[in-house]
Amino acid sequence: MRDHFTIYGEQITSRLLIGSALYPSPAVMSEAIAAAGSQIVTVSLRRQQSAAAGDDFWQLIKATGLKVLPNTAGCHSVKEAVTLAHMCREVFATDWIKLELIGDEYNLQPDPFALLEATKILIDEGFKVLPYCTDDLVLCQRLADVGCEVLMPWGAPIGTGKGLLNKYNLKTIRERLPTLTLIVDAGLGLPSHACQALELGYDAVLLNSAIAGAGCPVTMSRAFKAAVTAGRLAYQAKAMPEKDVASPSTPTMGMPFWHQQ
């Protein structure tokens, strides 16, 4: 049986979710998405510039054959996010919603209070919410309490490429919420960052800027695909324990066989 995780009961085998923004051209976007081997692509209804451009974009997304995960990027209030979520449900015919609700313009940090409020409203209205949140254990617990089966804590602020700034927090969330699907979303810049997230036991990563902003998005997409596979295998293999002192890989047993008296 193929290794998989679940998002609200749906089995997913690719541990790399990919975004659809910032690519240098539609053709590059399509090729990079295909190279990633992803099953899920995120899209933003709000950030389409015109009806004509928007229609062309949707046709490209449909052509990928991937499951669409719409997001509420750019929202700053509960009312705004809830309204956009309903629009996304109508346009994309899905109850899935990646809930983004920004509280700070400098580092684009999610507003934890508004995020929790909007999440509860949307779950009560039948949405399957994937909230983009910080690596705060208590917030993640509260989101789980209101019915979230999937959480998307950040590795670092959106678009910074800094990787996993607080591995301790991320590891603690994984350990304390063992039954939830956890996806690191935002701040990853290198394939090694994605590998580290999977090594911690996270189910997947979601990327956009790290691939779309690379010198060659298609090649970087392939690199991230390989990285998540390596990270997952490492997690399953269970790493050796760290030690404070050196330990030889080949123990010495007595004298060398060529020793002469």
Q: Write the pLDDT tens digit of every residue in 27-54.
A: 999 999 999 999 999 998 875 544 445 6
Is residue 250 within 8 Å of 215, Cβ to Cβ?
no
Q: Which residues are catalytic?
A: 98
Q: What is the mean pLDDT of residues 143-171?
A: 96
The confidence band for 260, taking pLDDT boundaries of 50, 70 and 90, is low
Q: What is the mean pLDDT of residues 96-119?
A: 94
Kindly list the distances between the CA atom of residue 163 and the CA atoms of 15, 155, 170, 207, in Å, as whole numbers in the listed order: 17, 6, 12, 11
Backbone angles phi, psi at 100, to 5 degrees: -115, 130
What pLDDT score was predicted for residue 1? Answer: 46
Q: What is the mean pLDDT of residues 231-254?
A: 84
Q: Mean pLDDT across the chain, nearest whole number? A: 91
CA dihedral (215, 219, 224, 227) positive or negative? negative
What pLDDT score was predicted for residue 2? Answer: 67
Q: What is the mean pLDDT of residues 83-96?
A: 94
Q: Write the pLDDT tens digit of every residue in 204-219.
A: 999 999 999 999 999 9
pTM over 0.85: yes
What pLDDT score was predicted for residue 50? Answer: 40
d(CA 213, CA 97): 24
CA dihedral (226, 227, 232, 235) positive or negative? positive
Q: What is the mean pLDDT of residues 126-150?
A: 97
What pLDDT score was predicted for residue 64? Answer: 84
What pLDDT score was predicted for residue 12? Answer: 96
